[in-house]
């Protein structure tokens, strides 16, 4: 057994004690696990706005039947973007599942004068960009008086952490990380470091994005990043590692976790889901939207995460892949896993792509993958990579195709890549005997 890195006396171990989510399957963790474990596609036909000639992709992975008024005041319905009530809903479930707050406390909101010292570190690529598009369209159409006075303040990415801090009276740090698709992975790593360095006992962290708009989807169509030949088969559009993959399905959602110092969690008798033991982050420094073909820097991010965790490659039981379903990225990620784990171990290790099921939730991707990984650890079952019915010969690892399988997972690696050729990886480990 390889030796593990020994934390310095000033560092504390970081554990995950709660999680909550709003996903393309609907509200809650149970719905998410039911969908991904059974291989049910959550990609569907676009209905939130009328398709236009400049938007040939008609497939998305949006959140169905979401009612913002259940989570924010009626007054705020026109003052904040859709991502805010989604994130609050996910945070409510996370806080209740952690035991830090009761269901009544999160539903009623903090009493006057009640505060908590906990911090917030959230990842989001778009933040309030959906709200901005609506407001700016009114400006450009000359409807100035119809524009919200919150057009600027509610559109900036950084407002998301503030909305959570306000909603739950959290007076610790309130930061938003915006690094494109790696935003939530980077936020989780930053949150963990905040606890390790003794700057917080509890951090609400994770990721959220909800920016399925005509402008953004049209932009992805111009980039040829999204599929256009599966409009009549939306369930088949997200197909990582297949020979006929075209691009990612634009998605949305919120996945929030309670991160906590181990000593703090043990002192209050919390249930521990897993320990976040390592993270690694690199940049290819190569291109605005493309990865370097050899996968070397992505592999280095995974290696850095394993090194920080004190985990050897042969201890990795499962890898949750970024798996966008884009022609280049899937090959690069396959090569990166081989470099990080070594070819023999890479071929022996089960991997799966959560995006095959839920599409690509942008900056929330890493958090969505972490949630899938924690649930796989809890249930001793790996969810499948669906639609993998025509494998690409260049993608030749065990992606758990089509049907999930039982597996004991003690240590897992979660990989994430993003625009600007960024790479971030997390390592989590079960504390169960």
Which residues are known catalytic residues? Answer: 181, 322, 360
Give CA–CA dist 313/413, Å, rounded: 10
DSSP 321: E
- Start-end of H helices in 122-182: 129-140, 159-168
Give CA–CA dist 282/262, Å, rounded: 27
Give CA–CA dist 83/253, Å, rounded: 8
Give CA–CA dist 97/85, Å, rounded: 18
Q: Please give the angle made by the CA atoms of 302, 307 and 312, to the nearest 5 degrees.
A: 85
**End-to-end distance of the chain based on CA atoms, in angstroms?**
17
- 214: tokens are 């005509």
Give residue 339's Cα distance to chain centre. Answer: 24
User: In what helix (H) or strand (E) does residue 384 lie, and over which residues does it extend?
Assistant: none
- 341: tokens are 């784990």
Give CA–CA dist 178/188, Å, rounded: 12
User: In what helix (H) or strand (E) does residue 368 lie, and over which residues does it extend?
Assistant: helix 365-379
Count the neighbouring beta carbons within 10 Å of the beta carbon of residue 401: 16
Which residue from 80, 48, 76 is spatially nearest to 62, judged by alpha carbons?
Answer: 48
Q: Please give the angle made by the CA atoms of 392, 393 and 395, to the nearest 5 degrees.
A: 70
Give 172: exposed, middle or buried? Use CB within 10 Å, 0-12, 13-18, 19+. Answer: buried
């Amino acid at each position: 057994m390889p030796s593990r890195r020994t934390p310095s006396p000033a560092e504390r171990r970081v554990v995950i004690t709660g999680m909550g989510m709003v996903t393309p399957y609907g509200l809650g963790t149970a719905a998410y696990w039911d969908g991904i474990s059974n291989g049910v596609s959550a990609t569907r036909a676009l209905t939130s706005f009328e398709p236009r000639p400049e938007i040939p992709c008609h497939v998305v992975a949006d959140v169905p039947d979401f009612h913002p008024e259940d989570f924010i005041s009626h007054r705020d319905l026109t003052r904040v973007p859709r991502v805010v009530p989604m994130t609050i809903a996910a945070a409510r479930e996370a806080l209740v599942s952690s035991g830090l707050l009761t269901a009544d406390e999160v539903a009623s909101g903090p009493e006057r004068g009640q505060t908590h010292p906990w911090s917030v570190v959230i990842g989001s690529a778009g933040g309030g960009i959906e709200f901005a598009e609506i407001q700016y369209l009114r400006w450009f159409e000359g409807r100035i008086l119809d524009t919200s006075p919150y057009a600027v303040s509610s559109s900036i990415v950084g407002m998301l952490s503030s909305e959570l801090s306000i909603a739950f009276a959290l007076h610790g740090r309130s930061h938003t990380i915006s690094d494109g698709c790696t935003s939530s992975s980077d936020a989780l790593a930053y949150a963990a470091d905040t606890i390790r360095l003794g700057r917080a006992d509890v951090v609400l962290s994770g990721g959220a994005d909800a920016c399925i708009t005509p402008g953004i989807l049209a932009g992805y169509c111009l980039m040829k990043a999204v599929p256009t030949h599966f409009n009549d088969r939306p369930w088949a559009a997200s197909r990582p590692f297949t020979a006929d993959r075209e691009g990612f399905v634009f998605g949305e959602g919120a996945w929030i976790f309670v991160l906590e110092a181990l000593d703090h969690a043990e002192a209050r008798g919390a249930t521990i889901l897993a320990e976040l033991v390592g993270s690694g982050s690199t940049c290819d420094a190569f291109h605005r939207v493309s990865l370097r073909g050899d996968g070397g820097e992505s592999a280095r991010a995974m290696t850095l995460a394993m090194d920080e965790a004190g985990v050897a490659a042969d201890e990795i039981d499962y890898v949750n892949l970024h798996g966008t379903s884009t022609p280049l990225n899937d090959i690069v990620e396959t090569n990166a896993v081989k470099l990080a784990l070594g070819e023999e171990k890479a071929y022996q290790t089960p991997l799966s792509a959560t995006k095959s099921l839920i599409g690509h939730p942008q900056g929330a991707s890493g958090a969505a993958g972490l949630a899938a990984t924690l649930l796989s650890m809890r249930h001793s079952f790996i969810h499948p990579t669906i639609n993998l019915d025509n494998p690409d010969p260049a993608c030749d690892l065990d992606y758990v195709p089509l049907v999930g399988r039982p597996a004991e997972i003690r240590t897992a690696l979660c990989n994430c890549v993003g625009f600007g050729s960024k790479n971030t990886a997390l390592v989590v480990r079960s504390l169960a005997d």
